[in-house]
Amino acid sequence: MDAQLPSAATHDQPGEVDERWSTALTAIAPNSVMVRGYHLDELMGRLSFPDAVYLLLMGELPTRTIGRMLDAILVSVIDHGVTPPSTLAARNVAASGAPLKDAVAAGILGFGPYHGGDIESCMRFLDQGLSLIRGGWTWANAAQKLVDDWAHANTAPPPGFGHRLHTQDPRAPRLFQLAMELELEGEHVRMLRALERALNERHAHFGRLLPANVDGAIAAISADLGFSYELGNAIFLISRLPGLIAHAHEERMRQEPMRRIDPKDHVYDGSRERRLPEGRK
């Protein structure tokens, strides 16, 4: 077919190598959309959105347990109130009357190394430990070494541990519990646990206990599921997008344009505390 031939001769940079470039994600043809080889209309109603996310990013269908784990991870950081910088960036943009997508894009830009990006840093930190293990260290010694080196250079906690607000981030133990129940714990979770213990022994240095936070749990579990650094961070983006949307939308619906948003000066006036109905447990 003509379309498969290289087209070098027709371009305006003489001598440029111009072979067709390739994509392995989605094949589009008239009346057909195939994602990783599956017809999208076949997937709809049969594959859950988290399963489809896994398929698109990783190239294959997840197992049932991996699909359930990813689903829970996506729920775990769907929102964290008004104070993260990403949320405040989104709300400030919304306050100017800009469209929703602009507020959301600004929010995504507000995922920096200190927020969101922490997942990647934690994955790299865990891999440093695992490299020691492969070099023959014990888990305890490897963790001790990482924590010592970190503490030597920093008073701030290492990525994935501690939280500026929560002394025990409630989302992390729940993710670990699910990983255990679904039999998905691997070496990254084990390293995170070892680091947690080593940090406990150094809590005087950091001025407080530093249990793993939700970023640490997502980092360890998603590394065990085979996600790369970059895609580990991407999971956070997918999960938090609805949160950014909800805040930008609420800003526009409930607040005056151009107000100056004080992140500290707010109250919660939403639904009272409630429990899932029996049928949803």
Is there binding between residue 226 and a copy of itself (CB under 8 A)?
no
Of 134, 165, 183, 278, which one interacts with a copy of itself (CB under 8 A)?
165
User: In this complex, which beta carbon is closest to a copy of itself, that of residue 127 or of residue 250?
Assistant: 250
The token pair at 221 is 């579990």
Any contact of residue 106 with a copy of itself (CB under 8 A)? yes
For a copy of itself, give the closer residue by CB, 134 or 267: 267
61-80 residues near a copy of itself, rule: CB under 8 A: 61, 68, 71-72, 74-76, 78-80
Of residues 6 through 25, those in contact with a copy of itself by CB under 8 A are 6-7, 9-14, 16, 18, 20-25
Q: How many CB atoms lie within 10 A of CB 63?
A: 14
Residue 33: its H or E element: strand 32-35
Subset of residues 182 to 221 that bind a copy of itself, contact rule: CB under 8 A: none
Q: How does DSSP classify residue 10?
A: G
Q: Does 155 bind a copy of itself (CB under 8 A)?
A: no
- Shortest distance (Å) from residue 138 CB to a copy of itself: 32
Q: Is 178 left (phi over 0), alpha (psi -120 to 50) or beta?
A: alpha
Binding status of residue 136 toward a copy of itself by CB under 8 A: no
Please tell me whether residue 261 binds a copy of itself under the rule CB under 8 A: yes
Q: Kindly determine how many residues on this chain lie close enough to bind a copy of itself according to the rule CB under 8 A.
A: 143
Q: Which residues contact 61 (CB under 8 A, 6 or more apart)?
A: 47, 51, 54, 55
Half-sphere exposure of 250 (CA within 13 A, CB side): 15
Q: 175 Cβ partners below 8 Å, 6+ apart?
A: 72, 73, 76, 214, 217, 218, 221
Nearer to a copy of itself, 90 or 143 (CB): 90
Residue closer to a copy of itself (CB basis): 23 or 136: 23
To the nearest whole angstrom, how small is the minimum distance from the Cβ of residue 137 to a copy of itself? Answer: 29
From the list 175, 172, 152, 154, the residue with the least C-alpha distance to 163 is 172
